[in-house]
Copies of this chain bind each other. A is one copy, B any other.
Amino acid sequence: MLVVMKAHATEDEIRGVCQKIEKLGYRAHPMPGAQRTAIGITGNKGEVEQGTLEEMPGVQEVIKVSKPYKLVSRDIKEDNTVIRFTGTDVAIGGNGLAIVAGPCAIESREQAFAVAERVSRAGAQFFRGGAYKPRTSPYSFQGLGEEALRIMAEIRQQYGMKIITEAIDNESLDLVEEYADMIQIGARNMQNFSLLKRAGRAKKPVLLKRGMSATLEEFLMAAEYILSEGNYNVALCERGVRTFADHTRNTLDLSVVPAVQRLSHLPILVDPSHGTGKRNKVTPLSRAAVAVGADGLMVEVHNNPDEAMSDGPQSLFPDQFDELMVQVRQIAAVVGRTVPGIGMYEPTAVSK
């Protein structure tokens, strides 16, 4: 922390602030400048509680300096975290891009399989589908719950894709942990600290989506909650932030990808479906996400968006997803990444 004094601050006022800092148990480093004095504070273990420093006579401003995150930081671990899924070569955070695709919500066995068949064939290694849907309106479709989880478990069985699905409270997290391969924490729950702690005690990796108005620091601190409970397998996901701009549902902030990669060892995916909310922008922004260096993509695909029970307008048709994968592979090559594909799915082979 740094205390900036007013230009008119007297010697006494500066001394007073230094004494207060020492009294709070820290060390004060006064730096007299041409115009004013600044006082650095060191010696704190965690975050400094600034108390009433800002109100003391002669004080202009108090500036927070040290970053509160630890376990998510490259200061602690310099190498990239790679999340591995047992029994496969599939990983998040390695050289290969993680491609997650599927419908917004699981609406029926037929719909889920129809989409799964197509995205698997196009090369997705992860299948997404909502079982518990956080909807703005209590009157909207809220998901099929455990039935959806069972359908997705069958999809894993048949297509070999790993399953990612969202938990919205401790109860649903218990079930998601049981059925799925990776637990998603949605944007609206990014600061549901109770849920983050529960996810930190889970045995499965966690995909944490950025909150709609989360700063980079808050995003990393939310991940820190999960790691601090012992679960180190966390991937982040940018999905657009809320701004004044109204030509997309959210403003996809691709610059957060290199920013995360500079500060943290955790992998980061991009969700251009929620990030734009418009089907015709998903493919260009997917290309951009791979070009900027993201570790993967999360894309909504629906076999019949017209009748989708949620997020129809932002879901790709399966043919569009095929085309997206072609483009993604080409861009991946330019940035030195691969798109592994699960390689295990042979339609003729697995069907009975």
A52 contacts B194, C-beta separation under 8 Å: no
CA distance A49 to B141 in the complex (A): 11
Identity of the chain B residue whose Cβ is nearest the Cβ of A51 in the assembled complex: B306
Residue tally, chain A, CB below 8 Å to B: 118
CA distance A260 to B171 in the complex (A): 34
Q: Which of A50, A246, A259, A310 has the most CB of B within 10 A?
A: A259
Task: Decide yes or no whether A334 CB sits under 8 A from chain B.
Answer: yes
Q: Which of A137, A169, A280, A310 has the most CB of B within 10 A?
A: A137
Task: Decide yes or no whether A86 CB sits under 8 A from chain B.
Answer: no
A193 contacts B134, C-beta separation under 8 Å: yes
| Option from B68, B188, B194, B288 in Cβ contact (under 8 Å) with A136 | B68
Query: How many copies of this chain does the complex contain?
Result: 4
Q: Which residues of B sit under 8 angstroms from A229, Cβ to Cβ?
A: 138
A218 contacts B136, C-beta separation under 8 Å: yes
Q: Which residues of B sit under 8 angstroms from A49, Cβ to Cβ?
A: 307-310, 312
Instruction: Report the minimal beta-carbon distance from A14 to chain B, rounded to whole angstroms.
Output: 14
Instruction: Report the minimal beta-carbon distance from A221 to chain B, rounded to whole angstroms.
Output: 5
Interface residues of A (CB under 8 A from B): 2, 4, 6-8, 24, 29, 31-36, 38, 40, 42-47, 49-52, 54-55, 60, 62-63, 65-70, 73-76, 78, 134-140, 168-172, 188-189, 191-195, 197, 212-213, 215-218, 221, 224-225, 228-229, 241-248, 251-259, 262, 275-276, 278-281, 284-285, 287-293, 305-310, 312-313, 327, 330-331, 334-335
